[in-house]
Amino acid sequence: MADSTAVVWFRRDLRLDDNPAWARATSEHDRVVALFVIDPTLFGAATPRRTDRMLGDLRALDERLATVGGRLKVRTGDPRRIVVDEARAASAVTVLANADVTPYAAGRDAAVADALSSAGIEWSTEWGTLVHEPGRVRTAAGTLSQVFTPFHRTWARTSWNAWPLPGDAAVADDPGDGVPAPAGPYPSLRPLAGDEARPGEEGALARLEAAAARADAYPDERDLPAIVGTTELSIDLRFGTLSPRTVAMVVGDATPGRAAVVRQLAWRDWYAHLLFERPELVDAPMKARYSRLAWRDDEAGFVAWRTGRTGYPFVDAGIRQLLATGWMHNRVRMVVASFLVKNLLIDWRRGERWFRHVLLDADVAQNVGNWQWVAGTGPDASPYNRVFNPVLQGRRFDPDGEYVRRWVPELAGIAGDAVHQPWEIGPLELAAAGVELGVDYPAPIVDLGESRARVLAAYAAARD
Ligand SMILES: Cc1cc2nc3c(=O)[nH]c(=O)nc-3n(C[C@H](O)[C@H](O)[C@H](O)COP(=O)(O)OP(=O)(O)OC[C@H]3O[C@@H](n4cnc5c(N)ncnc54)[C@H](O)[C@@H]3O)c2cc1C
């Protein structure tokens, strides 16, 4: 289109590579405004740590845009108003964005599309946050598979959309209000050095290279929270400093370890496709009968859980890792979530909302999908009668107790795997380790056997 301007509205795609909206706008138009709107609704729901991470990534995007002669234009306020204002001010013919699957994003985008349409401006979306967009991976009957394994099989065979290459449109150089200064350093889930510590797309690529180099060990190490056994790329995927396709391409499938990493991206796509198709899953159990579950109203239990004071060291270590870093290892997420839902019989939605607030990688589709999986209410979920035993899980996946001692320092004096069960240690030995149960560290807040019987009865009643 000759002599035309487009606005690219960045959201959770804070990069220029493999960014379909950016590529299309810069190829099809002469001039492009790169816009980011700080939405107080979303900002207000984030922890300062997540805000800082995003601001670091926005600064990096601004610097990257400077290399093509432009700036990131930042405005704060309701995107329903601001996007239209900016498009008008730029005399843009169109606004492009990469779509998202959450009900909030869908409602917001529909409102923006309406406002743009009233102003005679086009609205157009691409998919840039998933390997395959919703609707592309189908069963023979044309539906979205409700079981993961066949979904994955088709997913892996499905060809990719063409790699989007940016064009040479001029990029506007008005920074608007500019990127606000972060309150602290760029957060990472552990200390990183060199390029890996850098924000934005370039840092993310260095983190990806490092993760790809570890990928062969993934099958053996992915369940061991004391070591760096997973890619730790979920935060980059959440903010879109990396596209999942870049991860899949760089990691590849040359070895079983590499293929196992890429398979996890199929889970990510699957949960996004499910939420896109059924937005009510944010609140409603996928298996309708479980809407009858009689959850317990246990405020003290919920507080003990979310402060890492349940008396079960593996659970408490996970929550403390989350509180300290904004991230928790996947194996421990499963055990911690199971403890809330099964042992405390507290509604999974309370846990999901709190995780969504605290996690740096908080992603509604992934969070809801995984919580429903643990609760046994979701598609292809963990069987309802599977109740993770936090002591056995700890012994198995943290065999030396190193992870627990790192995150629950009051138990650091207890050697070996005995740290998973401090109440079994004799009083003299405990005293020698500097621990008085109920004083320095809580006694278990529930009995595992009794709470297991209680949850099985509750699920059985809901199934009747
Ligand atoms: C209760 C619960 C809540 C969760 N909430 C979130 C969330 O809000 N955001 C989020 O990104 N992940 C969530 N997960 C999934 C998983 O725990 C994280 O993606 C993973 O721990 C991130 O670490 P990693 O990047 O090292 O993962 P890796 O094991 O290296 O996996 C590579 C990538 O694959 C994807 N992936 C891995 N496991 C899963 C999974 N089970 N479901 C979907 N995608 C997966 C992630 O994008 C991840 O970055 C949750 C899991 C549970 C049990």
**DSSP letter string over 410-459?**
GGTTS-GGGGG-GGGS-HHHHHHTT--BTTTBPPPSS-HHHHHHHHHHHH
387 burial type by CB count under 10 A (0-12 exposed, 13-18 middle, 19+ buried): buried
Smallest Cα–Cα separation from 311: which of 397, 406, 435?
A: 435
What values do phi and psi take at 202, rounded to 5?
Answer: -70, -40
Using DSSP's 3-state secondary structure scheme, residue 337 falls into helix
What confidence score (pLDDT) does residue 429 get? 95
Please check whether residue 404 is in contact with residue 429, taking contact to mean a CB–CB distance below 8 angstroms: no
Atom of ligand 1 nearest to the CA of 233: 25
Ligand 1: which residue has its CA nearest to atom 29?
A: 230
* Secondary structure letter of residue 292 according to DSSP: G
Ligand 1: which residue has its CA nearest to atom 36?
A: 264
> Best substitution site from 237, 366, 386 to test ligand 1's pocket, by max atoms within 8 Å of Cβ?
366
Smallest Cα–Cα separation from 262: which of 351, 379, 131?
A: 131
> Best substitution site from 361, 373, 374, 393 to test ligand 1's pocket, by max atoms within 8 Å of Cβ?
361
Atom of ligand 1 nearest to the CA of 271: 43
What confidence score (pLDDT) does residue 464 get? 78
C-alpha span between 455 and 284 (Å, rounded):
19
Residue with tokens 């909302």: 353
Using DSSP's 3-state secondary structure scheme, residue 6 falls into strand
Atom of ligand 1 nearest to the CA of 270: 43
What confidence score (pLDDT) does residue 2 get? 55
47 lines ligand 1 (CB under 6 A): no
What values do phi and psi take at 318, rounded to 5?
Answer: -60, -50
User: Beta strands 31-38 and 5-10: pairing type?
Assistant: parallel
Radius of gyration of the chain (CA): 24
C-alpha span between 395 and 416 (Å, rounded):
10
The rounded percent of the chain whose pLDDT value lies above 70 is 100
Q: How many of the other CB atoms lie within 10 Å of CB of 74?
A: 22
Residue with tokens 């990257």: 64
CB-based contacts of 328: which residues, under 8 Å, 6+ apart?
Answer: 318, 319, 321, 322, 336, 359
C-alpha span between 390 and 405 (Å, rounded):
15
Q: pLDDT tens digit string along 123-157?
A: 999 999 999 999 999 999 999 999 999 999 999 99
Using DSSP's 3-state secondary structure scheme, residue 179 falls into coil
Q: Which domains does the chain have, with CATH numbers?
A: 5-126 (3.40.50.620), 130-159+200-277 (1.25.40.80), 288-463 (1.10.579.10)
363 lines ligand 1 (CB under 6 A): yes
Alpha-carbon distance values, 251 to 90, 161, 248 (Å): 40, 18, 5
Q: Which residues of the chain have pLDDT under 70?
A: 1-2
> Best substitution site from 207, 214, 231, 234 to test ligand 1's pocket, by max atoms within 8 Å of Cβ?
234
What values do phi and psi take at 376, rounded to 5?
Answer: 80, 15
What confidence score (pLDDT) does residue 1 get? 47
